[in-house]
Amino acid sequence: MKSASDATMMLRTPFHSRVAAACELNAWGTWKGYTTPTAYTDVELEYFAIRSTAGVFDLSPMNKYRITGPDAEAYLNRLVTRDVSKIRAGRVGYTVWCNDAGQVMDDGTIFHLGENDYRVCAFARATDWLHWSALGFDVEVVDESDEVAALAVQGPTSCAALLAMGLVGLEQLKPFGLTMFPFEGGTLMVSRTGFTGDLGYELWIAADKAELLWDRLFEAGRPHLIKPFGSDALDMARIEAGFLQAGVDFVPAESAVRSGRSRSPYELGLGWLVDMDKPVFNGRKALLREQARGSRYRFAMLDVDGNKPASHSFILSGGKKVGTVTSAAWCPTAKTNVAFAQLEMPHGDVGQELVAEIYYQRELQWTRVMAPCRVIGAPVFNPPRRRAVPPGAF
Per-residue contact flags (x/-) with another protein for residues 347 to 386, judged by CB under 8 A: ----------------------------------------
Q: Select 79 or 104, whichever has its Cβ closest to another protein.
A: 79
Do residues 200 and 158 touch, judged by C-beta distance below 8 A?
yes
Alpha carbon separation from 67 to 14, 120, 205 (Å, rounded): 23, 7, 17
Per-residue contact flags (x/-) with another protein for residues 285 to 324, judged by CB under 8 A: x---------------------------------------
Give least dist CB 253 to another protein, A. 10
Closest CA to 96 of 226, 277, 355, 287: 287
Among 15, 40, 129, 181, binds another protein (CB under 8 A): 129
Q: Which stretch binds another protein (CB under 8 A): 278-286, 318-326, 347-355, 364-372?
A: 278-286
Per-residue contact flags (x/-) with another protein for residues 79 to 108, judged by CB under 8 A: x-------------------xxx-------
Give least dist CB 8 to another protein, A. 10
Give yes or no for residue 75 binding another protein (CB under 8 A): yes
Give yes or no for residue 46 binding another protein (CB under 8 A): no
Q: Select 83 or 171, whichever has its Cβ closest to another protein.
A: 83
C-beta pairs of 289-296 under 8 Å, 24+ apart in sequence? 289/102, 290/102, 290/264, 290/266, 291/266, 294/345, 295/264, 295/266, 295/267, 295/345, 296/260, 296/267, 296/344, 296/345
How far apart CA 55 and CA 47 sit, in angstroms, is: 8
Number of residues in the chain:
394
How far apart CA 268 and CA 271 sit, in angstroms, is: 8
Q: Hey, is 237 helix, strand or coil?
A: helix
How far apart CA 290 and CA 297 sit, in angstroms, is: 11
Closest CA to 390 of 163, 215, 210: 163
Give yes or no for residue 30 binding another protein (CB under 8 A): yes
Give yes or no for residue 255 binding another protein (CB under 8 A): yes
Do residues 99 and 37 touch, judged by C-beta distance below 8 A?
no
Give least dist CB 315 to another protein, A. 20
Do residues 105 and 86 touch, judged by C-beta distance below 8 A?
no
Give yes or no for residue 117 binding another protein (CB under 8 A): no
Among 1, 168, 378, 393, binds another protein (CB under 8 A): 1
Among 86, 131, 222, 387, binds another protein (CB under 8 A): 131
Give 87's DSSP letter: S
Rule CB under 8 A: which residues touch another protein? Answer: 1-5, 9, 11, 30, 32-33, 71, 74-75, 78-79, 99-101, 125-129, 131-133, 135-137, 143, 254-260, 279-285
